[in-house]
Structures are given as structure tokens and as C-alpha cells.
Amino acid sequence: MTWKTNRRTQNKFRTTINVPTAPKKLLRMKTKQRNTINRAIGDLVLTPNRYFDSIPLAQIFSVLEANDAIPIAEDGTAWSGFLLGEDSRTTIELAHPDTKQQIYGMDVYVPYNNSNLVLAWHRMPSGRYEVTGYVS
């Protein structure tokens, strides 16, 4: 059995899905904002001989939030979770706080279309972590 659709059902389907939207000016991170965030993250993680007992997500996220960038998950909600592995890398989407909308009772953000947080970490033989990070 094949599922058949026509234009009328496709258009009806599109109108029933709540897709968050935002003004174009809030969808692009400005270069000055990105540079400010990268300097602050660099001061935190890129200083010589700076190793951590755990990956400093709380400090990195506070730098982002102080500069109007909210880390978000794939579904647009605020990011929550943990990072695993001795040697890995991840990319986390970012959004402007003013793009927050209520959809089905959840706070959903519209991500920037030009910026992500990139984190990489390596666990040293001593058990401490070397962390690098930047906003692309």
C-alpha cells in the first residue's frame, strides 16, 4: 500500500505544524558578538597549562548567555545533557534569547543560521581534560 497525497493535504499538513519563526536580524550572529564570545571562551580554556577536572560546560554556557547566545538542542529547546568520552568533539547550535516561543507548552528557540559552538576535549593520562572551544 502506498501513501498518496495531493496538494490540498500537503498544504493542510503544513499549516497544522507549528514551526517557530523569527525576524531575520535575530537569525544571524554579528561578527562583533562572535569575536567577544570567542575571546571570553579563549580566556577560559585556551590559557597555557589550563586543564580541568571535568569539561567546563557551565562556565562556557554562562559566557554564551552573557553575550545573547543560548545553547539549544536539535529540537530547539534549551540544551541540557552531558558530554562523554576521553577524546571527542561536538557542535551545539546557538540561538538569540529573543527568538523564544511557546510551542505545545515548551520554550523553543530559532537557531542562528551562521553560528555554532564547537567544543573538543581530550582526557590526559593524569585524568584531567584539555578543552578547546570556539563559536564558528
Residue 58, C-beta contacts closer than 8 angstroms, at least 6 positions apart: none
pLDDT digits (tens, 9 = 90+) for 26-62: 789 999 999 999 999 999 987 777 899 999 999 999 9
Helix (H, G, I), strand (E, B) or coil at 127: coil
- pLDDT tens digits along 118-136: 999 999 999 999 999 999 9
- Give the model's pLDDT for residue 27: 87
Angle, alpha carbons 51-52-58 (nearest 5°): 135
* CA–CA gap between residue 48 and residue 121 (Å, rounded): 15
Measure the CA–CA gap between 104 and 123, rounded to whole angstroms.
40
pLDDT on residue 1 = 42
Cα 101 to the chain's mean position, in Å?
16
Distance from C-alpha of 55 to C-alpha of 128, rounded to nearest angstrom: 9
What are the pLDDT digits (tens) for 69-96?
Answer: 999 999 899 999 889 899 999 999 999 9
Residue with the bigger pLDDT between 14 and 22: it is: 22
Structural domain spans, the chain:
26-135
pTM score, whole prediction: 0.81
